[in-house]
Amino acid sequence: MKIHRCFLAALIQAAFLTISSPAAHAQEPATDGYVTRKEYEDLKAQMLAMKKELEALKKEKGEVSKQERLESHAVADVQKQVAPKQQTAESQVTGDMHKEVVAEAAPSLAELEASLLGTTKFLLAGWAEGMYEQRNGQVSTFSASFNPIFLWELTPKILFDGRLEIEPSGGGTNVNLVNAQISYLLNDYIAFGVGEFFSPSNVFVERFEPQWINKLPDRPIGVYHGVLPNISVGAQVRGGFPIGPTRADYAFYVSNGPVLNTFDARTAGTLDFNSYTDNNDNKAVGGRVGFLPIPGVEVGYGFETSKPGFQGTTFADLQALVQSVDLEVTRDSDLLKGRINLFAQYAWSHVDHAVYDPDGSLGFGPLPLTAKRDGGYAEIAYRPTKLDIDFLRNLEMIFRWDHLSADPSGLGDPSETRWTLGLNYWLSPSTVVKAAYEWDQPNGERNRNALFFQTAMGF
Amino acid sequence: MIPTLNRSLVAAFVVLFVSMGLSLFAEPKNAHRKAATNSSGAVSSDSYMGLSGEELWSNNCMRCHNLRPPTMYSNAQWDVIVHHMRLRANITGQEQRAIVEFLKSAK
Q: What pLDDT score does A65 carry?
A: 65
For residues A243-265, give the mean pLDDT: 93
- CA A234/CA A409 separation, integer angstroms: 30
Asked if B100 and B57 sit in the same domain, the reply is yes
Query: Which segment, A272-276, A381-385, B27-31, is predicted with the most confidence on average?
Result: A381-385
Q: What pLDDT score does A45 carry?
A: 85
Of A188, A245, A333, nearest to B92 by CB-CB distance is A188
Residue A293 has pLDDT above 50, yes or no: yes
For residues A54-80, give the mean pLDDT: 67
Contact call for A213 and B80, based on CB within 8 A? no
Q: How confident is the model at residue A378 (pLDDT cuts 50, 70, 90)?
A: very high
Of B66, B69, B92, nearest to A189 by CB-CB distance is B92
Closest CA to A144 of A123, A122, A167, A165: A167
Chain B CB contacts of A185 under 8 Å are 83, 86, 93
Three-state SS string across A150-201, please?
Answer: EEEEEECCEEEEEEEEEEEECCEEEEEEEEEEEEEECCCCCEEEEEEEECCC
Instruction: Tell me if chain B has a CB within 8 Å of the CB of A296.
Output: yes
Instruction: Tell me if chain A has a CB within 8 Å of the CB of B11.
Output: no
Contact call for A295 and B59, based on CB within 8 A? yes
Asked if B67 and B92 sit in the same domain, the reply is yes
Check residues A116 and B36 and name the one with the higher pLDDT: A116
Residue A23 has pLDDT above 60, yes or no: no
Q: What pLDDT score does A29 carry?
A: 44
Residue B39 has pLDDT above 60, yes or no: no
Express each pLDDT in A96-132 by its tens digit. Answer: 666 665 555 555 566 666 666 677 899 999 999 999 9
Residue A51 has pLDDT above 70, yes or no: yes
Which of A71-85, A257-271, A384-398 is least confident? A71-85
Host domain of residue B93: 39-105
Q: What pLDDT score does B60 carry?
A: 92
Integer CA distances (angstroms), A157 to A188, A224, B44, B84, B88, in order: 10, 31, 22, 11, 15
Percentage above 70 pLDDT, chain B: 54
Chain A CB contacts of B75 under 8 Å are none
Of A161, A334, A342, nearest to B27 by CB-CB distance is A334
Q: What pLDDT score does B107 carry?
A: 79
Q: What pLDDT score does A261 carry?
A: 94
Element (H, E) at A73: helix A37-82
Express each pLDDT in B57-102 by its tens digit. Answer: 999 999 999 999 999 999 999 999 999 999 999 999 999 999 999 9
Q: What pLDDT score does B96 carry?
A: 96
Residue A12 has pLDDT above 60, yes or no: no
List, in order, residues 6 or more apart from A380 with CB less than 8 Å away: A340, A341, A342, A343, A398, A399, A400, B17, B20
Contact call for B21 and A159, based on CB within 8 A? no
Asked if B21 and B45 sit in the same domain, the reply is no
Instruction: Tell me if chain A has a CB within 8 Å of the CB of B90.
Output: yes
Asked if B43 and B95 sit in the same domain, the reply is yes
Q: What pLDDT score does A53 carry?
A: 86
Residue A180 has pLDDT above 60, yes or no: yes
Q: How confident is the model at residue A95 (pLDDT cuts 50, 70, 90)?
A: low
Task: Please name every residue paired with A454 in a beta bridge, in sequence order, or none if there are none.
Answer: A131, A434
Check residues A375 and B40 and name the one with the higher pLDDT: A375
Contact call for A403 and B95, based on CB within 8 A? no
Nearest chain B Cα distance for residue A233, angstroms: 16
Asked if B15 and B48 sit in the same domain, the reply is no
Express each pLDDT in A423-450 by its tens digit. Answer: 999 999 999 999 999 999 898 889 999 9
Q: Count the residues in chain B.
A: 107
On whether residue B8 sits in a domain, the answer given is yes
Specify the CATH number for the domain of residue B85: 1.10.760
Total structural domains in chain B? 2
Asked if B58 and B82 sit in the same domain, the reply is yes
Q: What pLDDT score does B40 carry?
A: 38
Q: What pLDDT score does B48 carry?
A: 57
On whether residue B52 sits in a domain, the answer given is yes
- Test mutation, A247, A374, A393, chain B, max B CBs within 10 A: A247
Asked if B60 and B98 sit in the same domain, the reply is yes
Residue A453 has pLDDT above 60, yes or no: yes
- HSE, side-chain direction, 13 A CA sphere, residue A289: 3
Contact call for B17 and A241, based on CB within 8 A? no
3-state secondary structure of A118: coil
Asked if B14 and B52 sit in the same domain, the reply is no
Chain A CB contacts of B88 under 8 Å are 206-207
Of B51, B68, B79, nearest to A429 by CB-CB distance is B68
Which of A72-81, A213-222, A403-412 is least confident? A72-81
- Test mutation, A333, A345, A417, chain B, max B CBs within 10 A: A333
Interface ipTM: 0.74
Contact call for B66 and A430, based on CB within 8 A? yes
Question: Positive or negative, the Cα torsion across A147, A425, A440, B8?
Answer: negative
Chain A neighbours among B 62-81 (CB < 8 Å)?
62-69, 76-77, 79-81
Q: How confident is the model at residue B4 (pLDDT cuts 50, 70, 90)?
A: very low
Q: What pLDDT score does A272 carry?
A: 93
For residues A239-243, give the mean pLDDT: 94
Under 8 Å CB pairs connecting chains A and B tally to: 138
On whether residue B34 sits in a domain, the answer given is no
- CA A237/CA A179 separation, integer angstroms: 16
Check residues A109 and A180 and name the one with the higher pLDDT: A180
The CATH code of domain A114-458 reads: 2.40.160.10
Residue A5 has pLDDT above 90, yes or no: no
Asked if B24 and B51 sit in the same domain, the reply is no
User: How does the average pLDDT of chain A come out, rounded?
Assistant: 86
- CA A221/CA A229 separation, integer angstroms: 12
Contact call for B76 and A401, based on CB within 8 A? no
Asked if B59 and B10 sit in the same domain, the reply is no
Contact call for B84 and A161, based on CB within 8 A? yes
Strand A416-428 vs strand A191-198: parallel, antiparallel, or unpaired? unpaired
Chain B CB contacts of A430 under 8 Å are 65-66, 68
Crossing angle of helices B75-89 and B93-105, rounded to 10°:
150
3-state secondary structure of B105: helix
Nearest chain A Cα distance for residue B105, angstroms: 16
Chain B CB contacts of A334 under 8 Å are 27, 31
Instruction: Tell me if chain A has a CB within 8 Å of the CB of B15.
Output: no
Q: Which residue of B has its CA nearest to A342?
A: B17
- CA A237/CA A256 separation, integer angstroms: 16
Q: How confident is the model at residue A195 (pLDDT cuts 50, 70, 90)?
A: very high
Which of A40-44, A64-68, A339-343, A367-371 is least confident? A64-68
For residues A296-306, give the mean pLDDT: 96
Instruction: Tell me if chain B has a CB within 8 Å of the CB of A379.
Output: no
Asked if B88 and B55 sit in the same domain, the reply is yes
Q: How confident is the model at residue B47 (pLDDT cuts 50, 70, 90)?
A: very low
Contact call for A245 and B88, based on CB within 8 A? no
Q: What pLDDT score does A424 carry?
A: 98
Q: What pLDDT score does A40 carry?
A: 78
